[in-house]
């Protein structure tokens, strides 16, 4: 009979210290707990306020909720590739995206959730870097990441990682920017040059090099929006200019408010390098994505005061008045071109496709 | 933007427009050959600033629009093959074909749909990117959709030369190259033609020079002005055509000499001649135009995707009988005169390529027309 010697037995199954995500990190077992305890929780914890590891966060909402304020709630998912790009990464983007969605409703964002879908094989170093970036972005935006979730999918079933963020914020009484309030005569303001994010990502994917490196404009817009609302609590509508760019946001507003929008194309700020890249790729900068830009529609009488407030904020120094709301051609956005012609600024039909010639 | 803003300078463009108004005394129909010019005219609203007597009709110079349905279907079939990585410039991905995906029995009528059903379809910015993919994937055949006029032929030809030098046997091209002068001939030979003068495509002349237009101007007694793509280029080109028409002249003029030297780009012409030879080619919506296309020379025939996949090479397709893009491409029909325009046919439900391409006349009219609604 064979004797099995169990002295000094070491299980050959390695459990920890993988340099990459493995399926076990999403198992619900020890490995997942280690990932949350050692990678997510300490990074997301605010000063002296550890993130609870229970199933849901209990939120302390400021007293003003009782005074006619409302709760704003938003969700967004982030699937950007590559995950790290000039000017940001998927982590900071996931914070800015949801913060901005809340801010565009006039809300002050307070709490976020962060859910991760990780692909087997993702390096823990990359994940750590992205999580740190999320925490830094949350701190700058003044929000706390208080709950989340982790899943792992098999290699080939995800693009490294996807992040979903949800957020809640407080909407003070009397603040109500919504398309229904947009009125002919209102003016259109943007907070700076358009197209930086989309071109930064596209040039990286296409391996294009430009004389000036084009950096994403990813930024939290809640501070800027708060200053604008302080200057003009009656601000009629706001949209952050993400996928589809200014064209998409303007078309949505024109449709929802059933008004015409007219944009003076020469007044729209676009960086020289972005304009050059768009020429080369056959794209319209008004269709290209942004992650730190907004379109505000304000009563004409408030234009100056809102612009001044924008110019005083670091994210609005190049703010510009780019057009106005009209009664004519409801639902359509028209561009006044540099040479005095006019054209329809339409929604892009689908993904932006570089032209052949 | 240096070298660009000068050509969008509103006061200068207005001066040229004013001179056009002073010059024109009766109606003229001009054709801008290139889709890039159509796009620029609409994007800058130039058409609305011209005197009423000048009618612009849009020519067959959009490579996306004129690629025959058969080649789109061939591309879809190749892209659906599990052993193929199909590479293409971006704007071919939404062009509708008629291919039915055998695996699922569902219609996959553009390359995006084939991709969504498992085909390995990749957007490239240059045929050299496709070569790189071929080097990195030795166990797959990489097919590049070599579409375009004389402008894209040199780079596509160079990719074939490079593949031959490297012995990259897993690379091949689905060729859909067409050339401009035979198209001008076809338009002028059509009995119902209304074109009085041409704005020739500046980019094509950058490669080929202006010499091949002289016999055409002479034969059809028609002015041909080589024209660029910026508003000032286009206004200036129109002015020069109108001046000639009013004076009864029919010269070839080069109004784009800053980019298009009269002799063209000799090195690029050499590549084209080395790799390609002229052949009869079908243009979508127009039909076969003799000697209007390029095919690979015998020396490079092993890089021809239609030869490598003979079942694909033998395919035939039938066009929608509702779509009248062929007449639009010949300047015989304005897009909004087509009964399907804006109804069965919109940018989201295109029947023909003139509606799907960003340079297509129908897509441009669809956008513009909405201001007047």
Three-state helix/strand/coil letters over A112-134 = EEEEEEEECCCEHHHHHHHHHHH
In angstroms, the CA B351 to CA A326 distance is: 34
Angle between helices B231-247 and B10-23 (to 10 degrees): 10
* Residue B173 in tokens: 């091209």
The stretches of chain A forming alpha helices (DSSP H) are: 30-35, 41-44, 90-103, 124-141, 196-206, 222-231, 245-257, 272-281, 303-311
Of residues B152, B347, B359, nearest to A349 (C-beta): B347
CB-based burial of residue A154 (10 Å sphere; 0-12 exposed, 13-18 middle, 19+ buried)? exposed
Cβ <8 Å between B367 and A355: no
In angstroms, the CA B132 to CA B351 distance is: 34
CB pairs under 8 A between A and B: 103
In angstroms, the CA A139 to CA A145 distance is: 9
* Residue A195 in tokens: 């197209």
Q: Which residue has the tokens 């708060």?
A: A226
* Residue B29 in tokens: 């129909």
pLDDT tens readout for residues A109-153: 999 999 999 999 999 999 999 999 999 999 999 999 999 999 999
Cβ <8 Å between A275 and B1: yes
In angstroms, the CA B199 to CA B237 distance is: 6
In angstroms, the CA A251 to CA A242 distance is: 13
In angstroms, the CA A106 to CA A223 distance is: 11
In angstroms, the CA B244 to CA B223 distance is: 7
The stretches of B117-265 forming alpha helices (DSSP H) are: 127-136, 153-166, 180-189, 202-208, 214-220, 231-247
Rg of chain A taking only CA atoms, in angstroms? 23
Of residues B8, B147, B151, nearest to A339 (C-beta): B8
Of residues A276, A339, A344, nearest to B371 (C-beta): A344
Phi and psi at B64, nearest 5°, equal -65, -45
Nearest Cα to Cα of residue B145 among B201, B204, B65, B91:
B91
* Residue A250 in tokens: 């303007």
Cα dihedral value B306, B311, B312, B316, nearest 10: 120
User: CB neighbours (10 Å) of residue B285?
Assistant: 22
Whole-angstrom CA distances from A21 to A29, A81, A119, A160, B295 are 14, 18, 7, 10, 50
Is A237:A229 a contact under the CB 8 Å cutoff? no
Is A264:A322 a contact under the CB 8 Å cutoff? yes
Nearest Cα to Cα of residue B355 among B337, B369, B335:
B335
Nearest Cα to Cα of residue A112 among A139, A150, A78, A143:
A143
User: Which of A222 and A50 is assigned the larger pLDDT?
Assistant: A222
Please report residues of A whose CB lies closer than 8 A to that of B136: none
The B-side interface with A (CB below 8 A) comprises 1, 4, 8, 10, 13-14, 36, 42-49, 63-64, 89-94, 112, 123, 125, 129, 147-149, 151-152, 203, 231, 347-348, 358-359, 367-368, 370-371, 373
In angstroms, the CA A152 to CA A161 distance is: 9
Whole-angstrom CA distances from B309 to A91, A247, B143, B209, B315 are 45, 43, 11, 36, 11
Q: Which residue has the tokens 């704005």?
A: B199
In this prediction, residue B373 carries a pLDDT of 46
Nearest Cα to Cα of residue B236 among B8, B10, B20, B3:
B20
Q: In the structure, how many helices (H) and strands (E) does chain B have?
A: 17, 11
Whole-angstrom CA distances from B290 to B201, B287, B294 are 20, 10, 11
pLDDT at A310 over 50: yes
Nearest Cα to Cα of residue A240 among A74, A115, A82, A352:
A74
Cβ <8 Å between A337 and B44: yes
pLDDT tens readout for residues B336-367: 889 989 888 887 777 877 887 766 788 878 87
Per-residue pLDDT of chain B (373 residues; tens, 9 = 90+): 555 666 777 889 999 999 999 999 999 999 999 888 988 898 888 988 999 999 998 888 888 888 988 899 999 999 999 999 999 998 888 888 877 655 556 666 789 888 888 899 999 988 999 999 999 999 999 999 999 999 999 999 999 999 999 999 999 999 999 999 999 999 999 888 899 999 999 999 999 999 999 999 999 999 999 999 999 999 999 999 999 999 999 999 999 988 889 999 999 999 999 999 999 999 887 889 999 999 999 999 999 999 999 988 888 887 777 888 888 888 888 888 899 898 888 877 778 778 877 667 888 788 766 665 4
ipTM above 0.90, yes or no: no
Query: Is A65 near chain B, with CB under 8 Å?
Result: no
pLDDT tens readout for residues A244-289: 999 999 999 999 999 999 999 999 999 989 998 888 888 889 999 9
Of residues B36, B45, B89, nearest to A343 (C-beta): B45
- Which of B17, B18, B45, B259 to probe by mutation at the A interface, max A CB count within 10 Å? B45
Is A347:A247 a contact under the CB 8 Å cutoff? yes
pLDDT at A6 over 80: no
């Amino acid at each position: 009979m064979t004797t099995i010697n169990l002295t000094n037995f070491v299980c050959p199954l390695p459990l920890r210290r993988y340099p990459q995500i493995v399926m076990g990190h999403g198992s619900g077992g020890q490995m997942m707990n280690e990932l949350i305890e050692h990678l997510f929780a300490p990074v997301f914890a605010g000063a002296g306020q550890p993130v609870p590891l229970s199933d849901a966060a209990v939120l302390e909402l400021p007293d003003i909720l009782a005074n006619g304020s409302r709760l704003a709630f938003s969700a967004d998912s982030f699937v950007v590739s590559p995950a790290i790009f000039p000017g940001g990464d998927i982590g900071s983007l996931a914070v800015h995206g949801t913060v901005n969605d809340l801010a565009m409703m006039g809300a002050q964002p307070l709490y976020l959730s962060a859910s991760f879908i990780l692909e087997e094989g993702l390096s823990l170093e990359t994940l750590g870097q992205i999580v740190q970036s999320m925490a830094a972005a949350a701190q700058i935006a003044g929000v706390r990441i208080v709950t989340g979730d982790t899943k792992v999918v098999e290699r080939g079933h995800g693009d490294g990682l996807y992040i979903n963020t949800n957020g809640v914020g407080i909407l003070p009484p009397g603040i109500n920017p919504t398309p229904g309030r947009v009125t002919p005569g209102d003016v259109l303001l943007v907070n700076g040059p358009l197209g930086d994010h989309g071109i930064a990502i596209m040039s990286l994917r296409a391996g294009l090099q430009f004389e000036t490196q084009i950096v994403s404009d990813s930024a939290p817009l809640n501070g800027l929006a708060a200053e604008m609302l302080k200057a003009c609590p009656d601000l009629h509508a706001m949209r952050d200019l993400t996928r589809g760019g200014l064209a998409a946001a303007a078309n949505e507003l024109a449709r929802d408010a059933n008004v015409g929008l007219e944009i003076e194309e020469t007044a729209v700020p676009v960086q020289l390098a972005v304009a050059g890249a768009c020429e080369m790729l056959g794209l319209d900068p008004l269709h290209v994505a942004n992650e730190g830009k907004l379109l505000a529609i304000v009563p004409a009488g408030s234009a100056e005061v809102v612009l001044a407030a924008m110019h005083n904020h670091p994210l609005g120094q190049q703010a510009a008045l780019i057009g106005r709301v009209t009664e004519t051609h409801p639902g359509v956005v028209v561009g006044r071109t540099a040479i005095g012609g006019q054209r329809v600024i339409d929604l892009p039909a689908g993904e932006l496709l570089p032209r052949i010639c | 933007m240096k070298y660009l803003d000068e050509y969008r300078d509103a006061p200068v463009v207005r001066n040229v427009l004013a001179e056009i108004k002073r010059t024109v005394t009766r109606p003229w129909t001009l054709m801008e050959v290139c889709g890039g010019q159509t796009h620029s005219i609409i994007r800058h609203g130039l058409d609305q600033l011209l005197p009423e007597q000048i009618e612009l009709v849009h020519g067959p110079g959009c490579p996306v629009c004129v690629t025959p349905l058969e080649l789109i279907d061939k591309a879809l079939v190749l892209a659906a093959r599990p052993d193929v990585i199909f590479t293409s410039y971006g704007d071919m991905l939404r062009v509708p074909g008629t291919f039915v995906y055998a695996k699922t029995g569902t219609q996959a009528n553009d390359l995006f749909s084939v991709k969504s059903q498992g085909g390995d379809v990749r957007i490239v910015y240059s045929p050299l990117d496709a070569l790189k993919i071929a080097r990195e994937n030795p166990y797959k055949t990489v097919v590049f959709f070599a579409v375009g006029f004389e402008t894209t032929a040199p780079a596509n030809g160079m990719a074939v030369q490079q593949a031959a030098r490297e012995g990259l046997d897993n690379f091949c091209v689905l060729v859909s190259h067409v050339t401009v002068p035979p198209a001008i001939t076809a338009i002028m030979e059509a009995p119902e033609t209304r074109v009085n003068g041409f704005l020739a495509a500046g980019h094509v002349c950058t490669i080929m020079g202006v010499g091949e237009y002289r016999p055409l101007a002479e034969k059809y007694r028609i002015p041909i002005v080589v024209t660029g793509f910026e508003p000032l280029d286009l206004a200036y080109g129109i002015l020069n055509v109108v001046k000639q028409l009013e004076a009864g002249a029919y010269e070839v003029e080069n109004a784009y000499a800053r980019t298009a030297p009269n002799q063209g780009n000799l090195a690029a012409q050499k590549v084209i001649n080395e790799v390609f030879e002229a052949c009869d080619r079908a243009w979508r919506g127009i039909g076969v135009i003799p000697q209007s296309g390029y095919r690979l020379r015998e020396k490079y025939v092993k890089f021809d995707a239609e030869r490598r996949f003979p079942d694909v090479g033998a395919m035939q397709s039938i066009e929608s009988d509702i779509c009248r893009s062929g007449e639009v491409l010949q300047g015989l029909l304005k897009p909004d005169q087509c009964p399907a325009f804006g109804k069965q046919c919109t940018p989201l439900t295109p029947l023909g390529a003139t509606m799907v391409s960003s340079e297509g006349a129908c897509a441009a009219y669809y956008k513009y027309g909405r201001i007047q609604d």
